[in-house]
């Protein structure tokens, strides 16, 4: 699930307006005094400690502390949903995780408004995967459409990219919608959608074929670490006989064999990372075998052919 530590820039919004409360003067240094009521001060300190525990992987302690403030701090409620759903610091309990996400989504408090879009994205995942709730693509689609509405930047961009993937699949296939949502997500900095958009331009899927736009998006996505885009860029160069460029790009794409780590680093799906890596390995093997753009090397060719699955 989308973790609330990624939403930490907005956590201040969930704190009550303490300017209306009876203030207490708290000295933090020789020069700075802050007027903070004791209850709010306690909440701030506890929240900071919780986030510190999360950053250090001390999930059990973070869970315990979040549970103490869940009724007064919506970010804590959200984080508890993530932790129970993913089994962080506790036994995995997706049903309970979904329950917390629904509480956020159904809450009328303005202090929870910035979390609703992230909760909707996570609930969409739960319905799509049938984890903690009954599988429903229709409900997943509805929740992702809500989440894509730019309320929380990261959650909205995630939802936009996910909708692009969803509308590319057989069940709800609509390539024009897929192109639209990938365009939105790519414009907002999503690396996976940047690569997907390049492929759609390359093959004229959901939009007129445009090799120039395809190359632009492939280069941009590849430069930022999208392995799927790197693999397709290698193919683009190789099939157009730019062998030196193909070999150089293929070497870059095959430096790291750890698919899961690459997926985590680029925030791209492991399946597509694996496909991109396999494409790059295949064309690099061809370059070594035939001496195209690189010196012939039979042993190296065999090595890279073995990486193609």
Residues 48 and 133 in one domain: yes
Could you read off the pLDDT of 157-185 as tens digits, one per residue? 999 999 999 999 999 999 999 999 999 99
Boundary (domain end) residue, out of 187, 221, 255: 221
Residues 2 and 92 in one domain: yes
Is the per-residue pLDDT at 10 higher than 80? Answer: no
User: What local confidence, expressed as pLDDT, does residue 33 receive?
Assistant: 40
Residues 60 and 203 in one domain: no
Secondary structure string (H, E, C) spanning the chain: CCCHHHHHHHHHHHCCCHHHCCCCEEECCCCCEEECCHHHHHHHHHHHHHHHHHHCCCHHHHHHHHHHHCCCCHHHHHHHHHHHHHCCCCCCCHHHHHHHHHHHHHCCCHHHHHHHHHHHHHHHHHHHHCCCCCCCHHHHHHHHHHHCCCCCHHHHHHHHHHHHHHCCCCCCCCHHHHHHHHHHHHHCCCHHHHHHHHHHHHHCCCCCCCHHHHHHHHHHHHHCCCHHHHHHHHHHHHHCCCHHHHHHHHHHHCCCCCHHHHHHHHCCCHHHHHHHHHHHHHHHHHHHHHCCCCCCCHHHHHHHHCCCC
Is the per-residue pLDDT at 106 higher than 50? Answer: yes
Could you read off the pLDDT of 224-266 as tens digits, one per residue? 999 999 999 999 999 999 999 999 999 999 999 899 999 999 9
Mean model confidence pLDDT for the chain: 87
Is the per-residue pLDDT at 32 higher than 50? Answer: no
Q: How many domains does the chain contain in total? A: 3
**Domain limits at 229?**
225-309
Is the per-residue pLDDT at 150 higher than 90? Answer: no
Residues 134 and 78 in one domain: yes
Boundary (domain end) residue, out of 148, 166, 184: 166
User: What local confidence, expressed as pLDDT, does residue 136 receive?
Assistant: 98
């Amino acid at each position: 699930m989308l973790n609330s530590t990624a939403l930490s820039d907005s956590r201040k919004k969930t704190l009550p307006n303490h300017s209306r409360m009876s203030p207490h003067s708290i000295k933090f240094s020789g020069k700075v005094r802050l007027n903070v009521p004791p209850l709010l001060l306690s909440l701030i300190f506890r929240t900071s400690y919780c986030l510190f525990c999360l950053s250090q992987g001390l999930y059990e302690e973070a869970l315990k502390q979040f549970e103490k403030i869940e009724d007064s701090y919506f970010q804590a409620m959200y984080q508890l949903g993530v932790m129970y759903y993913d089994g962080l610091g506790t036994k995995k309990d997706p049903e309970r995780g979904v329950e917390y996400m629904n509480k956020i989504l159904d809450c009328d408090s303005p202090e929870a408004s910035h979390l609703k879009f992230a909760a909707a994205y996570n609930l969409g995942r739960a319905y799509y995967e049938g984890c903690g709730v009954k599988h429903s693509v229709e409900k997943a689609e509805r929740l992702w459409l809500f989440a894509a509405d730019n309320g929380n930047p990261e959650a909205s961009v995630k939802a936009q990219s996910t909708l692009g993937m969803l509308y590319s699949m057989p069940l709800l296939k609509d390539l024009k919608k897929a192109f639209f949502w990938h365009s939105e997500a790519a414009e907002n900095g999503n690396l996976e959608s940047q690569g997907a958009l390049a492929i759609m331009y390359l093959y004229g899927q959901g939009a007129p074929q445009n090799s120039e736009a395809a190359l632009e998006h492939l280069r941009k996505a590849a430069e930022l670490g999208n392995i799927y885009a790197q693999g397709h860029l290698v193919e683009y160069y190789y099939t157009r006989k730019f062998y030196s460029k193909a070999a150089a790009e293929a070497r870059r794409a095959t430096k790291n064999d750890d698919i899961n780590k690459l997926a985590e680093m680029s925030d791209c799906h492991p399946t597509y990372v694996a496909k991109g890596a396999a494409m790059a390995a295949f064309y690099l093997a061809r370059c070594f075998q035939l001496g195209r753009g690189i010196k012939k090397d039979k042993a190296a060719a065999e090595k890279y052919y073995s990486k193609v699955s």
